[in-house]
Amino acid sequence: MQFTKGHGTGNDFVILPDPDNRLDLTPGLVAALCDRRRGLGGDGVLRVVRAAAHPEGAATAGEAEWFMDYWNADGSFAEMCGNGARVFVRYLVASGLAEPAEGALPVATRAGVVRALVTADAIAVEMARPRLYDTATATLGGLTLPGTAVDVGNPHLVCALPAGLELTALDLTRAPEVDATVFPAGVNVEFTAPGEPVDDTDGHVLMRVYERGSAETLSCGTGACAVAAVALRDAGRDTGVLAVDVPGGRLSVTVTEDSCWLAGPATLVATGTLDPTTLTTP
Ligand SMILES: N[C@@H](CCC[C@H](N)C(=O)O)C(=O)O
């Protein structure tokens, strides 16, 4: 089995090239690949498959040649992964499967087709504008925080920390408790604090995230988009540019009238082969 390992601001992925959808990818195999001690390690898997060859990509095969088949580290599916899409596009270009020079590159996902712009330093992906749709709470270590539910193709709950509580003080080794009636399919939970002003932006937010299916990660692209949309709402604005700092680095989010751009570094670090029969799970 061929693989490449890559990351976007520390949100890391095992990339599996499988153009014709031949791999028998199962939740167990995904979890074993993502195991950080027994496998390659990753927050998720990105299968690179032709849209026409995948049942969930076929409907958009006329718009995008490639389908990002994203899986969380526990073997569950997610509709969308913002950093994953950026790393996926870096892989397509680096491996010669797509040409970046032809303008925005379309990629099919479970949340529809996204478009990417590629430069040497960064990859920006245009996704749907985040939709703020409800309020809910997250409880963590006896602390209950109010938050805003946001749909970025996948579900998010954005909770601001009260003044005086440091983001670094949160214990995210366990999942925050949330209301399952608001989030029947689970949710990614972002905790935020205000950052110092950053040039050429309309705001700066610090964030940590506990991801559905992957636990705490160093970064979450769709989470950064959700956080930016809530920050703009709180500032009485509809659109703007936000710097969102995550433990793994800085993301830039631009919310426009009808879409949302997520930009940041996307890096490939290794390529190799693996015999899946050597993988074991606890
Ligand atoms: N890290 C991703 C989000 C991955 C999916 C998420 N865990 C979910 O289950 O919705 C990102 O960069 O957006």
- Ligand 1 atom closest to residue 209's alpha carbon, by position in its atom list: 1
CB of 13 within 8 A of CB of 268?
Answer: no
**Which ligand 1 atom minimizes the distance to the CA of 11?**
1
Checking if the pLDDT of 142 tops 70, the result is: yes
CATH of the domain at 58: 3.10.310.10
Q: Do 191 and 104 have their domain in common?
A: no
136 lies in the same domain as 111: no
Residue 170 C-alpha to ligand 1 middle, in angstroms?
20
Task: Tell me if 8 is assigned to some domain.
Answer: yes
Alpha-carbon distances of 4 from 76, 119, 252, 267, rounded to whole Å: 20, 20, 25, 11
11 labelled as ligand-binding? yes
Residues with Cβ within 8 Å of 142's Cβ and at least 6 positions away in sequence, in order, are: none
Distances 62 to 50, 52, 56, 67, 279 between C-alpha atoms, Å: 11, 8, 13, 12, 37
Residue pair 226/207 in contact (Cβ under 8 Å)? The answer is no
Same domain? For 147 and 121 the reply is no
For residues 90 and 136, membership in a common domain is answered with: no
Domain count, the chain: 2
Query: Same structural domain for residues 197 and 236?
Result: yes
Q: pTM of the prediction?
A: 0.97
CB neighbour list of residue 256: distance below 8 Å, 6 or more residues apart: 129, 239
**Closest to 6 (Cα-Cα) out of 69, 92, 79:** 92
Do the domain assignments include residue 279? Answer: no
- pLDDT one-digit tens code per residue, 46-71: 999 999 999 999 999 999 999 999 99
Q: Give the single-character DSSP code of 182.
A: T
Classify residue 168: in a domain, yes or no. Answer: yes
Q: Which domain holds residue 211?
A: 131-257
Q: What are phi and psi for residue 91, nearest 5 degrees?
A: -65, -45
Query: Looking at per-residue confidence, does 100 or 252 come out higher?
Result: 252
- Ligand 1 midpoint to CA 221 (Å): 7
Assigned domain for 194 exists: yes
Q: Is residue 281 part of a domain?
A: no
For atom 4 of ligand 1, which residue has the closest CA?
A: 81
CA pair distance 217, 220, nearest whole angstrom: 7
Question: Which one of the listed residues 34, 159, 220, 225 is annotated catalytic?
Answer: 220
Q: Does some domain include residue 278?
A: no
> Which pLDDT tens digit goes with each residue over 232-280?
999 999 999 999 999 999 999 999 999 999 999 999 999 999 999 999 8
Q: Is there a catalytic annotation at residue 260? A: no
**87, 217 contact by CB (below 8 A):** no
